[in-house]
């Protein structure tokens, strides 16, 4: 019986279909294990060997990994929310209410999206603090620290642009205050240092560019929506890819 099964197995693994998918033998030798890792689209992201110390949870607390996990949750739940939400000032608020009270699992998706956003902001700070406290920002990882700073800023702007979308009082005034702060940016803001000297006016400065007007209205909602759902997530995705690539290339800073 065992011989029969073994013969069948050998017949299957020698077919052209099998060999076109699995291009390596059973991972029982170092060479085969390496081939398995290199030839698989998902596994190739991982190194062939991992040092025991790199798995030590009390060094990283997996804070970077958890931040990334939040980003994945946000992407999935965000796509779901996009099916029901229209960035039109006449219906945005009602779309959110529909998500809460009418759409099946709508409230769950909205809550997951909101809580994951809070968690991502919280975790990215903690991750940065861990990197700082373990001195992992020092050479050769200084470039990745800068990439990390970009990710931190992108995370905060993602959170801020999402804030406007429910189009309620909180959203409106939070973005009014935030965009007023942008107006005070040096050189490119009309009320910032050297703004007037640089020819800034309320209708051509950074706040105007951000809102697409001088008040938080339809143009602002559309701009924030496009930035929140397309521009910033794509940019963050690219920066994360570079971040993960550098982690591999620079080597892990922790105990080996
Ligand atoms: C969206 C935001 C971010 C994500 C998803 C992310 C993800 C990760 C992951 C998964 C790691 C592997 C080790 C670990 O889990 O701790 C890591 C390492 C690292 N991250 Fe981040 N990170 C982000 C933001 C940042 C920020 C804000 C900084 C610093 C300003 C930073 C700097 C670094 C550095 C220098 C390493 C290498 C650490 C080492 O070798 O010990 N990252 N990141």
Q: Which of 53, 57, 64 to mutate to test the pocket of ligand 1 (most atoms within 8 A of CB)?
A: 64
- Distance CA(21)–CA(6), nearest Å, equals 20
DSSP code of residue 47 = -
pLDDT the model gives residue 33? 87
Give distance in angstroms: CA of 127 to centre of ligand 1.
6
Share of the chain above pLDDT 90, in %: 79
Question: Which residue has its alpha carbon closest to ligand 1 atom 39?
Answer: 253
CA dihedral 90, 96, 98, 103 (to 10 degrees): 140
pLDDT the model gives residue 154? 98
User: What are the pLDDT digits (tens) for 76-120?
Assistant: 999 999 999 999 999 999 999 999 999 999 999 999 999 999 999
Question: Which residue has its alpha carbon closest to ligand 1 atom 13?
Answer: 64
Give distance in angstroms: CA of 167 to centre of ligand 1.
33
pLDDT the model gives residue 48? 77
- Distance CA(247)–CA(256), nearest Å, equals 15
Mean pLDDT of 198-202: 96
Give distance in angstroms: CA of 152 to centre of ligand 1.
10
Ordered by where they begin, the domains of the chain are: 2-42 (no CATH), 56-250 (1.20.810.10)
Burial-class residue 93 by CB neighbours within 10 Å (0-12, 13-18, 19+).
middle
Give distance in angstroms: CA of 113 to centre of ligand 1.
22
Cβ of 120 closer than 6 Å to ligand 1, yes or no, is no
């Amino acid at each position: 019986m065992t011989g029969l099964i073994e013969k069948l197995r050998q017949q299957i693994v020698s077919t052209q279909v099998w060999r076109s998918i699995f291009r390596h033998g059973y991972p029982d030798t170092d060479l085969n294990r390496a081939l398995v890792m290199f030839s698989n689209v998902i596994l190739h992201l991982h190194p062939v060997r991992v040092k025991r110390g790199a798995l030590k949870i009390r060094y990283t607390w997996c804070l970077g990994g958890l931040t990334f996990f939040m980003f994945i949750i946000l992407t999935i739940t965000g796509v779901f929310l996009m099916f029901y939400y229209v960035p039109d000032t006449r219906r945005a608020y009602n779309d959110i209410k529909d998500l809460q009270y009418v759409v099946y699992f709508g409230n769950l998706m909205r809550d997951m999206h909101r809580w994951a956003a809070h968690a991502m902001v919280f975790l990215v700070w903690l991750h940065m603090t861990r990197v700082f406290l373990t001195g992992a920002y020092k050479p050769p990882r200084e470039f990745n620290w800068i990439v990390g700073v970009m990710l931190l800023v992108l995370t905060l702007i993602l959170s801020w642009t999402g804030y406007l979308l429910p189009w309620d009082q909180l959203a409106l005034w939070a973005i009014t205050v935030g965009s007023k702060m942008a107006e005070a940016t040096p050189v490119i803001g009309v009320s910032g240092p050297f703004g007037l000297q640089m020819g800034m006016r309320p209708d051509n400065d950074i706040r105007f560019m951000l809102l697409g007007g001088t008040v938080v209205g339809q143009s602002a909602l559309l701009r924030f929506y496009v930035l929140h759902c397309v521009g910033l997530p794509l940019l963050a995705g690219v920066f994360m890819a570079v971040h993960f690539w550098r982690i591999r290339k620079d080597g892990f800073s922790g105990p080996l």
